[in-house]
């Protein structure tokens, strides 16, 4: 149940997307493309993953490492 909720939260925040490819469902990490910043060649070709933005995690509540 918790895994389902995590995936739904990641979808709602736009961090991951579901796509159909070859009649199979695939989970894809969503990326943002910004042509105005100078990034490494990999980031400029593939885009920066949305999960690296701090504001993308707003509303997703995670437990800290000291929680039982």
Q: Mind spelling out the 3-state secondary structure of 4-25?
A: HHHHHHHHHCCCEEEEEECCEE
| Segment 29-50, tens digit of pLDDT | 888 876 665 655 555 557 788 8
Mean pLDDT of 4-23: 86
pLDDT higher than 70, residue 27? yes
What torsion do the CA atoms of 27, 33, 38, 42 make, to the nearest 10 degrees?
30
- According to the model, what pLDDT value does residue 4 have? 83
Question: How many CB atoms neighbour CB 21 within 10 A?
Answer: 8
Question: How far is CA 49 from each of CA 16, 30, 43, rounded to the nearest angstrom?
Answer: 9, 6, 9
Average pLDDT over all residues of the chain: 78
Where in the chain are the domains? 2-57
pTM of the model: 0.60
């Amino acid at each position: 149940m918790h895994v389902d909720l995590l995936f739904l939260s990641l979808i709602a925040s736009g961090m991951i997307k579901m796509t159909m490819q070859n009649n199979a469902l695939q989970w894809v990490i969503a990326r943002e493309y910004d042509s105005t910043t100078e990034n490494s060649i990999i980031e400029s070709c593939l885009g920066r993953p949305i999960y690296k933005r701090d504001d993308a995690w707003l509303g997703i509540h995670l437990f800290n490492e000291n929680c039982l």
